[in-house]
Chain A
Amino acid sequence: MEKKLRRAMMFMPGNNPSMLQNAGIYGADTVIFDLEDAVAISEKDAARHLVHNAIKYFNYPCEVAIRINHIQTPYGVDDLKVVLAAKPDLIRLPKAESPRDIEEVDAIISEAESRYSFAPGSINMMAAVETAKGLRNAYEIATASPRMVALAIGGEDFIADLKTTRSKDGKELFVPRSQLLLAARAAGIDAIDTVFADINDEETFIAEVNLIKQLGFDGKSVINPRQVRIVHQIFTPTEKEIAQAGRVIAAYNAAIERNSGVINLDGKMIDTPMVLRAERVLAYAKSVKK
Protein backbone atom coordinates (compact mmCIF):
# COMPACT_ATOMS: atom_id res chain seq x y z
CA MET A 1 0.00 0.00 0.00
CA GLU A 2 1.24 3.47 -0.83
CA LYS A 3 2.13 5.64 2.11
CA LYS A 4 -0.34 8.40 2.93
CA LEU A 5 1.74 11.55 3.13
CA ARG A 6 1.21 13.87 6.05
CA ARG A 7 3.93 16.42 5.46
CA ALA A 8 1.98 19.61 6.21
CA MET A 9 -1.16 19.30 8.31
CA MET A 10 -2.74 22.76 8.19
CA PHE A 11 -5.00 24.07 10.94
CA MET A 12 -8.06 26.08 9.91
CA PRO A 13 -10.35 27.81 12.44
CA GLY A 14 -13.60 25.85 12.46
CA ASN A 15 -15.94 28.83 12.68
CA ASN A 16 -14.64 30.76 9.69
CA PRO A 17 -16.71 30.16 6.51
CA SER A 18 -14.19 31.85 4.23
CA MET A 19 -11.28 29.69 5.40
CA LEU A 20 -13.33 26.49 5.31
CA GLN A 21 -14.49 27.08 1.75
CA ASN A 22 -10.93 27.78 0.57
CA ALA A 23 -9.20 25.12 2.69
CA GLY A 24 -8.51 22.81 -0.22
CA ILE A 25 -6.58 25.23 -2.42
CA TYR A 26 -3.32 25.49 -0.50
CA GLY A 27 -1.99 22.03 -1.29
CA ALA A 28 -1.65 20.79 2.30
CA ASP A 29 -1.61 16.99 2.62
CA THR A 30 -4.13 17.34 5.46
CA VAL A 31 -6.41 20.15 6.56
CA ILE A 32 -7.38 20.18 10.23
CA PHE A 33 -10.62 21.98 11.00
CA ASP A 34 -10.18 23.21 14.54
CA LEU A 35 -13.01 23.13 17.04
CA GLU A 36 -10.69 23.58 20.02
CA ASP A 37 -8.39 26.55 20.64
CA ALA A 38 -9.44 28.54 17.56
CA VAL A 39 -13.09 28.63 18.59
CA ALA A 40 -14.54 30.77 21.40
CA ILE A 41 -16.51 28.83 24.01
CA SER A 42 -19.72 30.65 23.03
CA GLU A 43 -19.28 29.52 19.39
CA LYS A 44 -18.47 25.83 19.86
CA ASP A 45 -21.94 24.78 18.66
CA ALA A 46 -21.78 27.04 15.58
CA ALA A 47 -18.32 25.77 14.59
CA ARG A 48 -19.47 22.14 14.79
CA HIS A 49 -22.38 22.78 12.44
CA LEU A 50 -20.22 24.77 10.04
CA VAL A 51 -17.44 22.16 9.90
CA HIS A 52 -20.00 19.38 9.44
CA ASN A 53 -21.54 21.23 6.49
CA ALA A 54 -18.20 22.16 4.92
CA ILE A 55 -17.17 18.49 4.81
CA LYS A 56 -20.56 17.51 3.41
CA TYR A 57 -20.58 20.20 0.70
CA PHE A 58 -16.96 20.31 -0.47
CA ASN A 59 -14.94 17.55 -2.00
CA TYR A 60 -11.57 18.50 -0.51
CA PRO A 61 -8.57 17.21 -2.50
CA CYS A 62 -6.74 16.16 0.66
CA GLU A 63 -7.17 14.36 3.94
CA VAL A 64 -9.74 16.12 6.16
CA ALA A 65 -9.16 16.05 9.90
CA ILE A 66 -11.07 17.63 12.75
CA ARG A 67 -9.47 18.65 16.00
CA ILE A 68 -12.18 18.10 18.58
CA ASN A 69 -12.17 19.46 22.09
CA HIS A 70 -10.77 17.12 24.71
CA ILE A 71 -13.14 14.28 25.43
CA GLN A 72 -13.25 15.17 29.15
CA THR A 73 -14.45 18.74 28.48
CA PRO A 74 -18.18 19.46 28.07
CA TYR A 75 -17.61 19.95 24.31
CA GLY A 76 -15.71 16.89 23.09
CA VAL A 77 -18.60 14.42 22.94
CA ASP A 78 -20.92 17.00 21.34
CA ASP A 79 -18.25 17.75 18.72
CA LEU A 80 -18.14 14.08 17.76
CA LYS A 81 -21.93 13.72 17.74
CA VAL A 82 -22.26 16.45 15.13
CA VAL A 83 -19.18 16.10 12.94
CA LEU A 84 -18.98 12.31 12.59
CA ALA A 85 -22.16 12.33 10.49
CA ALA A 86 -20.15 14.11 7.76
CA LYS A 87 -17.52 11.33 7.76
CA PRO A 88 -14.21 13.15 8.25
CA ASP A 89 -11.08 11.14 7.40
CA LEU A 90 -9.42 11.73 10.73
CA ILE A 91 -10.23 12.86 14.27
CA ARG A 92 -7.42 14.61 16.11
CA LEU A 93 -7.65 14.45 19.87
CA PRO A 94 -5.77 17.16 21.80
CA LYS A 95 -3.97 16.73 25.13
CA ALA A 96 -4.04 12.93 25.12
CA GLU A 97 -2.74 11.66 28.44
CA SER A 98 -3.86 8.06 28.65
CA PRO A 99 -5.07 5.19 26.47
CA ARG A 100 -8.51 5.68 28.05
CA ASP A 101 -8.89 8.98 26.14
CA ILE A 102 -8.34 7.13 22.87
CA GLU A 103 -10.62 4.23 23.77
CA GLU A 104 -13.43 6.60 24.66
CA VAL A 105 -13.23 8.44 21.32
CA ASP A 106 -12.81 5.14 19.46
CA ALA A 107 -16.06 3.81 20.97
CA ILE A 108 -18.00 6.91 19.93
CA ILE A 109 -16.59 6.68 16.38
CA SER A 110 -17.48 2.97 16.15
CA GLU A 111 -21.03 3.74 17.21
CA ALA A 112 -21.32 6.52 14.58
CA GLU A 113 -19.88 4.30 11.83
CA SER A 114 -22.54 1.75 12.61
CA ARG A 115 -25.35 4.35 12.81
CA TYR A 116 -24.46 6.02 9.50
CA SER A 117 -23.47 2.75 7.74
CA PHE A 118 -19.87 3.84 7.20
CA ALA A 119 -17.32 1.07 6.72
CA PRO A 120 -16.10 -0.05 10.17
CA GLY A 121 -12.69 1.45 10.92
CA SER A 122 -12.89 3.94 8.06
CA ILE A 123 -12.47 7.01 10.30
CA ASN A 124 -8.90 7.32 11.57
CA MET A 125 -7.61 8.93 14.73
CA MET A 126 -4.50 10.77 15.82
CA ALA A 127 -3.58 12.20 19.18
CA ALA A 128 -1.54 15.18 20.27
CA VAL A 129 0.68 14.67 23.28
CA GLU A 130 1.01 17.98 25.09
CA THR A 131 2.12 17.08 28.60
CA ALA A 132 4.89 15.14 30.31
CA LYS A 133 2.28 12.67 31.57
CA GLY A 134 1.02 12.14 28.01
CA LEU A 135 4.55 11.53 26.81
CA ARG A 136 5.10 8.87 29.49
CA ASN A 137 2.07 7.06 28.05
CA ALA A 138 2.81 7.83 24.37
CA TYR A 139 3.26 4.22 23.19
CA GLU A 140 0.12 3.07 25.03
CA ILE A 141 -1.78 6.01 23.49
CA ALA A 142 -0.42 5.19 20.03
CA THR A 143 -1.52 1.55 20.30
CA ALA A 144 -4.83 2.08 22.11
CA SER A 145 -6.86 1.74 18.91
CA PRO A 146 -6.26 0.35 15.42
CA ARG A 147 -7.65 3.67 14.18
CA MET A 148 -4.52 5.48 15.38
CA VAL A 149 -2.44 6.70 12.41
CA ALA A 150 -0.29 9.40 14.01
CA LEU A 151 1.04 10.95 17.19
CA ALA A 152 1.68 14.67 17.28
CA ILE A 153 3.53 16.77 19.78
CA GLY A 154 1.80 19.94 20.94
CA GLY A 155 4.80 22.12 21.64
CA GLU A 156 3.36 25.21 23.28
CA ASP A 157 1.45 23.33 25.96
CA PHE A 158 4.35 20.92 26.39
CA ILE A 159 6.78 23.74 27.03
CA ALA A 160 4.41 25.29 29.56
CA ASP A 161 4.17 21.90 31.27
CA LEU A 162 7.98 21.65 31.34
CA LYS A 163 8.07 25.13 32.96
CA THR A 164 10.40 26.57 30.38
CA THR A 165 10.16 28.78 27.27
CA ARG A 166 10.65 28.09 23.59
CA SER A 167 14.08 28.83 22.16
CA LYS A 168 14.99 29.31 18.52
CA ASP A 169 16.91 26.05 18.26
CA GLY A 170 14.29 24.14 20.26
CA LYS A 171 16.76 22.40 22.56
CA GLU A 172 14.09 22.12 25.27
CA LEU A 173 11.99 20.01 22.87
CA PHE A 174 14.79 17.70 21.74
CA VAL A 175 14.05 14.92 24.22
CA PRO A 176 10.23 15.15 24.01
CA ARG A 177 10.36 15.13 20.21
CA SER A 178 12.69 12.13 20.17
CA GLN A 179 10.63 10.21 22.71
CA LEU A 180 7.42 10.91 20.81
CA LEU A 181 9.07 9.75 17.59
CA LEU A 182 10.27 6.53 19.23
CA ALA A 183 6.76 5.81 20.54
CA ALA A 184 5.23 6.45 17.10
CA ARG A 185 7.83 4.30 15.34
CA ALA A 186 7.42 1.47 17.85
CA ALA A 187 3.68 1.61 17.18
CA GLY A 188 4.21 1.82 13.42
CA ILE A 189 2.40 5.14 12.97
CA ASP A 190 3.31 8.68 11.82
CA ALA A 191 5.01 11.28 13.99
CA ILE A 192 3.93 14.89 13.46
CA ASP A 193 5.76 17.90 14.85
CA THR A 194 4.26 20.92 16.59
CA VAL A 195 3.21 24.24 15.03
CA PHE A 196 5.60 27.16 14.64
CA ALA A 197 3.68 30.28 15.55
CA ASP A 198 5.75 33.15 14.10
CA ILE A 199 4.76 33.05 10.43
CA ASN A 200 7.11 35.94 9.60
CA ASP A 201 10.24 34.19 10.89
CA GLU A 202 10.83 32.02 7.84
CA GLU A 203 14.49 31.40 8.60
CA THR A 204 13.84 29.77 11.98
CA PHE A 205 10.89 27.89 10.54
CA ILE A 206 13.06 26.38 7.78
CA ALA A 207 15.71 25.38 10.33
CA GLU A 208 13.04 23.75 12.49
CA VAL A 209 11.54 21.78 9.58
CA ASN A 210 15.01 20.54 8.60
CA LEU A 211 15.63 19.54 12.21
CA ILE A 212 12.43 17.54 12.61
CA LYS A 213 12.91 15.86 9.23
CA GLN A 214 16.37 14.81 10.34
CA LEU A 215 14.94 13.47 13.62
CA GLY A 216 12.63 11.28 11.56
CA PHE A 217 9.26 13.05 11.73
CA ASP A 218 6.76 12.47 8.90
CA GLY A 219 5.42 16.00 8.90
CA LYS A 220 4.49 19.11 10.81
CA SER A 221 1.35 20.89 11.93
CA VAL A 222 1.20 24.33 10.31
CA ILE A 223 -0.97 27.39 10.77
CA ASN A 224 -0.47 29.30 7.54
CA PRO A 225 -0.53 28.43 3.81
CA ARG A 226 2.96 29.95 3.41
CA GLN A 227 4.33 27.27 5.71
CA VAL A 228 2.78 24.46 3.62
CA ARG A 229 5.04 25.14 0.64
CA ILE A 230 8.19 25.19 2.78
CA VAL A 231 7.37 21.95 4.60
CA HIS A 232 6.54 20.17 1.35
CA GLN A 233 9.77 21.35 -0.29
CA ILE A 234 11.92 20.16 2.60
CA PHE A 235 10.14 16.81 2.92
CA THR A 236 10.13 15.99 -0.78
CA PRO A 237 13.16 13.99 -2.00
CA THR A 238 15.37 15.85 -4.48
CA GLU A 239 15.90 14.56 -8.04
CA LYS A 240 19.42 13.58 -6.99
CA GLU A 241 18.13 11.55 -4.02
CA ILE A 242 15.54 9.84 -6.23
CA ALA A 243 18.14 8.97 -8.88
CA GLN A 244 20.54 7.60 -6.26
CA ALA A 245 17.75 5.52 -4.68
CA GLY A 246 16.97 4.10 -8.13
CA ARG A 247 20.61 3.10 -8.60
CA VAL A 248 20.73 1.41 -5.16
CA ILE A 249 17.64 -0.66 -5.95
CA ALA A 250 18.98 -1.55 -9.42
CA ALA A 251 22.32 -2.69 -7.95
CA TYR A 252 20.48 -4.69 -5.28
CA ASN A 253 18.23 -6.41 -7.87
CA ALA A 254 21.23 -7.19 -10.10
CA ALA A 255 23.08 -8.77 -7.16
CA ILE A 256 20.03 -10.89 -6.28
CA GLU A 257 19.92 -12.15 -9.88
CA ARG A 258 23.60 -13.07 -9.73
CA ASN A 259 23.08 -14.75 -6.35
CA SER A 260 25.80 -12.48 -5.12
CA GLY A 261 25.99 -11.89 -1.37
CA VAL A 262 27.99 -8.71 -1.62
CA ILE A 263 26.49 -5.68 -3.30
CA ASN A 264 28.72 -2.87 -4.43
CA LEU A 265 27.79 0.52 -5.85
CA ASP A 266 30.48 3.13 -6.64
CA GLY A 267 32.87 1.33 -4.31
CA LYS A 268 30.46 1.36 -1.35
CA MET A 269 28.88 -1.71 0.14
CA ILE A 270 25.09 -1.69 0.03
CA ASP A 271 23.37 -3.33 2.94
CA THR A 272 19.72 -3.96 3.87
CA PRO A 273 19.06 -0.64 5.70
CA MET A 274 20.32 1.25 2.64
CA VAL A 275 17.96 -0.72 0.40
CA LEU A 276 15.05 -0.07 2.74
CA ARG A 277 15.90 3.63 2.79
CA ALA A 278 16.07 3.72 -1.00
CA GLU A 279 12.70 1.97 -1.24
CA ARG A 280 11.24 4.58 1.12
CA VAL A 281 12.61 7.45 -0.98
CA LEU A 282 11.12 5.98 -4.18
CA ALA A 283 7.75 5.26 -2.54
CA TYR A 284 7.72 8.79 -1.19
CA ALA A 285 8.60 10.28 -4.58
CA LYS A 286 5.83 8.24 -6.20
CA SER A 287 3.26 9.48 -3.66
CA VAL A 288 4.34 13.10 -4.14
CA LYS A 289 3.95 12.89 -7.92
CA LYS A 290 0.35 11.69 -7.67
Chain B
Amino acid sequence: MPKLLKAAQAGSVESTDILIMVAPAETGAGIKIELVSPTVQQYGEQIKNVIISTLIAHGIEDATVHANDKGALNFTIEARVTTAISRALS
Protein backbone atom coordinates (compact mmCIF):
# COMPACT_ATOMS: atom_id res chain seq x y z
CA MET B 1 0.00 0.00 0.00
CA PRO B 2 1.65 3.33 -1.00
CA LYS B 3 2.04 5.97 1.68
CA LEU B 4 2.31 9.70 1.16
CA LEU B 5 5.85 10.76 2.00
CA LYS B 6 5.32 14.51 2.21
CA ALA B 7 2.78 17.27 1.73
CA ALA B 8 2.25 18.27 -1.88
CA GLN B 9 -0.15 20.36 -3.89
CA ALA B 10 -1.52 20.61 -7.41
CA GLY B 11 -3.95 22.81 -9.31
CA SER B 12 -4.69 26.50 -8.93
CA VAL B 13 -7.31 28.98 -7.77
CA GLU B 14 -8.14 30.00 -11.34
CA SER B 15 -11.80 29.76 -12.34
CA THR B 16 -12.91 26.12 -13.06
CA ASP B 17 -9.77 24.77 -11.33
CA ILE B 18 -9.22 23.43 -7.84
CA LEU B 19 -6.15 23.68 -5.59
CA ILE B 20 -5.55 20.36 -3.85
CA MET B 21 -3.08 19.88 -1.02
CA VAL B 22 -2.50 16.39 0.32
CA ALA B 23 -0.48 15.54 3.40
CA PRO B 24 0.44 12.24 5.09
CA ALA B 25 -1.66 11.03 8.02
CA GLU B 26 -1.08 8.28 10.57
CA THR B 27 -2.00 4.74 9.60
CA GLY B 28 -5.65 4.15 10.37
CA ALA B 29 -6.45 7.88 10.53
CA GLY B 30 -8.50 7.66 7.31
CA ILE B 31 -9.06 10.49 4.84
CA LYS B 32 -9.91 13.92 6.25
CA ILE B 33 -10.96 16.63 3.81
CA GLU B 34 -11.27 20.35 4.42
CA LEU B 35 -13.14 21.85 1.48
CA VAL B 36 -13.64 25.49 0.51
CA SER B 37 -15.96 25.98 -2.45
CA PRO B 38 -18.52 28.53 -3.65
CA THR B 39 -20.80 25.57 -4.36
CA VAL B 40 -20.17 23.67 -1.13
CA GLN B 41 -23.91 23.49 -0.32
CA GLN B 42 -24.85 21.91 -3.66
CA TYR B 43 -21.75 19.95 -4.63
CA GLY B 44 -19.65 19.67 -1.46
CA GLU B 45 -20.35 15.98 -0.93
CA GLN B 46 -19.81 15.17 -4.59
CA ILE B 47 -16.45 16.98 -4.66
CA LYS B 48 -15.36 15.13 -1.51
CA ASN B 49 -16.45 11.82 -3.00
CA VAL B 50 -14.34 12.41 -6.12
CA ILE B 51 -11.33 13.28 -3.93
CA ILE B 52 -11.82 10.18 -1.77
CA SER B 53 -12.36 7.80 -4.67
CA THR B 54 -9.27 9.13 -6.45
CA LEU B 55 -7.13 8.65 -3.33
CA ILE B 56 -8.50 5.12 -2.83
CA ALA B 57 -7.91 4.29 -6.51
CA HIS B 58 -4.24 5.13 -5.92
CA GLY B 59 -4.17 3.00 -2.78
CA ILE B 60 -4.08 5.95 -0.36
CA GLU B 61 -6.26 5.29 2.70
CA ASP B 62 -4.80 7.79 5.16
CA ALA B 63 -4.41 11.44 4.20
CA THR B 64 -5.27 14.98 5.13
CA VAL B 65 -6.61 16.96 2.20
CA HIS B 66 -7.21 20.67 1.85
CA ALA B 67 -9.19 21.61 -1.25
CA ASN B 68 -9.89 25.13 -2.50
CA ASP B 69 -12.42 24.72 -5.29
CA LYS B 70 -13.22 27.35 -7.92
CA GLY B 71 -15.92 25.46 -9.76
CA ALA B 72 -13.89 22.52 -11.06
CA LEU B 73 -15.59 19.66 -12.91
CA ASN B 74 -14.90 16.06 -11.92
CA PHE B 75 -12.24 15.52 -14.59
CA THR B 76 -10.22 18.39 -13.12
CA ILE B 77 -10.69 17.38 -9.49
CA GLU B 78 -9.56 13.84 -10.24
CA ALA B 79 -6.55 15.06 -12.27
CA ARG B 80 -5.42 17.52 -9.58
CA VAL B 81 -5.69 14.88 -6.84
CA THR B 82 -3.74 12.43 -9.00
CA THR B 83 -0.96 14.98 -9.56
CA ALA B 84 -0.84 15.93 -5.87
CA ILE B 85 -0.55 12.24 -4.93
CA SER B 86 2.26 11.58 -7.41
CA ARG B 87 4.12 14.63 -6.11
CA ALA B 88 3.63 13.51 -2.50
CA LEU B 89 4.94 10.03 -3.32
CA SER B 90 8.18 11.21 -4.94
Give A43 Cβ to nearest chain B Cβ, in Å.
Answer: 9
Do A58 and B86 touch (CB < 8 A)?
no
B73 to chain A: which residues have CB within 8 Å?
Answer: 17, 21, 57
A226 at the interface (CB under 8 A from B): no
Knowing A17-B17, A18-B16, A21-B16 are in contact, say whether A46-B75 is a contact too (CB < 8 A): no
- Interface size class on chain B is 10 to 19
Chain A hits for B75, CB < 8 A: 17, 20-21, 50, 53-54, 56-58
Complex Cα distance, B86 from A17, in Å, reads 19
Q: Is the Cβ of B82 less than 8 Å from the Cβ of A49? A: yes
Chain B CB within 8 A of A45 CB: yes
Measured between beta carbons, the chain A residues less than 8 angstroms from B72 are 17
Q: For residue B86, which residues in chain A have a CB less than 8 angstroms away from its CB? A: 45, 49
A57 to B50, CA, bound (A): 14
Partner of B76, one of A45, A50, A56: A50
Q: Are A46 and B16 within 8 A (Cβ)? A: no
Tally A-B pairs: CB < 8 A. Answer: 47
Given the known interface contacts A17-B73, A45-B87, A57-B74, the answer about A52 and B79 at a Cβ–Cβ threshold of 8 Å is: yes
Would A49 and B83 count as touching, CB distance under 8 A?
yes
Which of the residues B14, B74, B79, B87 comes within 8 Å of A50, measured between beta carbons? Answer: B79
A46 touches B11 (CB 8 A): yes
Given the known inter-chain contacts A49-B83, A50-B76, A53-B79, please indicate yes or no for A18 contacting B10, CB distance below 8 A.
no
**Within residues 1 to 48 of chain A, which ones have a CB less than 8 A from any CB in chain B?**
16-18, 20-21, 45-46
Question: In whole angstroms, how far apart are the Cα atoms of A209 and B7 in the complex?
Answer: 50
Which B residues from 1 to 49 make CB contacts under 8 A with A?
A: 10-11, 14-17
Q: Are the C-beta atoms of B16 and A49 separated by less than 8 Å?
A: no
Report Cα–Cα, A53/B74, bound state, in Å: 9
Q: A17-B17, A18-B15, A18-B16 are in contact. Are A46 and B76 (CB under 8 A)?
A: no
Q: B15, B73, B75, B76: which has the most chain A beta carbons within 10 Å?
A: B75
The 10 closest A-B pairs by CB, nearest first: A57-B75, A53-B75, A49-B79, A17-B76, A18-B16, A50-B79, A53-B79, A46-B83, A17-B16, A49-B82
